[in-house]
Amino acid sequence: MKKLIIALAASAALMGGFSTGAQAQEKKKVCFIYVGSKTDGGWTQAHDLGRQQLDKALGTKVETPFLENVPEGPDAERAIERMARSGCALVFTTSFGFMDATVKVAAKFPDVKFEHATGFKAAPNLATYNSRFYEGRYIQGQIAAKMSKKGVAGYIASFPIPEVVMGINAFELGAKSINPNFKLKVVWANTWFDPGKEADAAKALIDQGVDILTQHTDTTAPMQVASERGILAFGQASDMIAAGPKTQLTAIVDTWGAYYIKRTQALLDGTWKSEQIWDGLKDGILTMAPYTNMPDDVKAMAEETEAKIKSGELHPFTGPINKQDGSAWLKAGEKAQDGVLLGMNFYIEGVDDKLPQ
């Protein structure tokens, strides 16, 4: 009982101290909200690395509080609102599922700036940003076609959203530019994050005869399986070379740091404005991990493709491209519009999987 009284007294004393003692803050707050754990090894970790880079670059001018493991839904709205109320000047909401919550809170706090990753709803104080991951997938497809002996690659997919479908298509396009008969097998793990299930999916694909793996899920488990079974694989979201030193060909590395620094600087300079940004390899929002475990000519090809994409000479989605059923989608030389890509829900020719409509 005594303890309780002491504790209560202590907290009461503190309440008084707190309300008056709010320290005057010079630093601006740039806040982040994550759907996963900041050490998930994949999507969220990449964003948190970006936040840390921002901290390093502009740490004297900003501080970067964050909330991790925020479930999508009403919890997200509360978490974002809490950030807006706690004095954040700029809030990055880093999951697609935060879209409507961000829109609602942004409408309530017109003076706070918001940036939502991978969404499509904007407002004067709400920008969206995304990365052209498909550029990296195209390069991976080309490498796969060169390195695969059987001409079949396996793709561990999470959920059928446009982002994932776009990645599958880009991979197949890259592969077909080298080997027109290249085949792609897709397995849906129906999870972003379950090392066991991802490993099972990898094993199933290998047992069904693929000799190269790529993944659109978050953990390094598929890379580990590929390495055990002695086949080659591509990493996802972060450089996974540690999980497969003799396995990883390259990885699409999300490097949000450059973007976060750019936008925070704009905020500090007073030049921030709402934009719908879709950056690619040339902007450094994604980078390719070193090309390893491949002969020099393949490496040279990959580097050349990367350079061409950066310079704008090559757009992976350039016609002629047929849809899966053989009907024409893009005419020769025609480039896909961003809007179509961002809402992509069909496969191109050569992908074996069928998308439920």
Closest CA to 183 of 356, 357, 355, 347: 347
Task: Give Dmax over CA atoms of the chain in angstroms.
Answer: 82
Residue 331 to residue 171: CA distance in whole angstroms: 20
| Footprint of other proteins on 71-130 (CB under 8 A) | 71-75, 77-79, 81-83, 85-86, 96-97, 99-100, 120
Among 30, 58, 173, 201, binds other proteins (CB under 8 A): 201
Choose which of 186, 298, 302, 336 interacts with other proteins (CB under 8 A).
186
193 lies in the binding site for other proteins (CB under 8 A): yes
Among 204, 266, 268, 314, binds other proteins (CB under 8 A): 204
Which residues inside 265-324 make contact with other proteins, applying CB under 8 A?
none
| Least distance CB 195 / other proteins (angstroms) | 4
φ/ψ of residue 72, rounded to 5: -75, 135
Q: Token pair for residue 108?
A: 């309530």
Give me the least distance between CB of 226 and other proteins, in Å please. 12
* H helix intervals, 87-129: 99-108
Q: Establish if 41 lies at the interface with other proteins (CB under 8 A).
A: yes
**x-or-dash pattern for other proteins, window 119-158, by CB under 8 A?**
-x--------------------------------------
Q: How far is the CB of 77 from other proteins (least distance, A)?
A: 7
User: Please, what is the minimum distance in Å from the beta carbon of residue 44 to other proteins?
Assistant: 10
3-state secondary structure of 152: strand
Interacting positions 239-258 with other proteins (CB under 8 A): 242-243
* List 142, 219, 236, 255, residue binding other proteins (CB under 8 A): 219
The residue type at 342 = L
From 134-142, 214-222, 279-287, 327-335, give the range in contact with other proteins by CB under 8 A.
214-222
Q: Which residues of 87-116 are buried (b: 16+ CB within 10 A; e: fewer)?
A: ebbbbbbbbbebbebbbebbeebeebbbbb
Pick one of 122, 123, 162, 279: the residue that binds other proteins (CB under 8 A).
162
| Stretch of 53-61, 135-143, 198-206, 278-286 lying at the interface with other proteins (CB under 8 A) | 198-206
The residue ranges of DSSP E strands in the chain, in sequence order, are 28-33, 62-63, 66-67, 88-93, 113-117, 126-131, 152-157, 183-188, 212-215, 232-237, 248-254, 276-279, 286-288, 321-322, 328-330
Measure the CA dihedral 167/250/290/142, to 10°.
-70
Decide if residue 345 touches other proteins (CB under 8 A).
yes
* Contact set for other proteins, span 165-184 (CB under 8 A): none
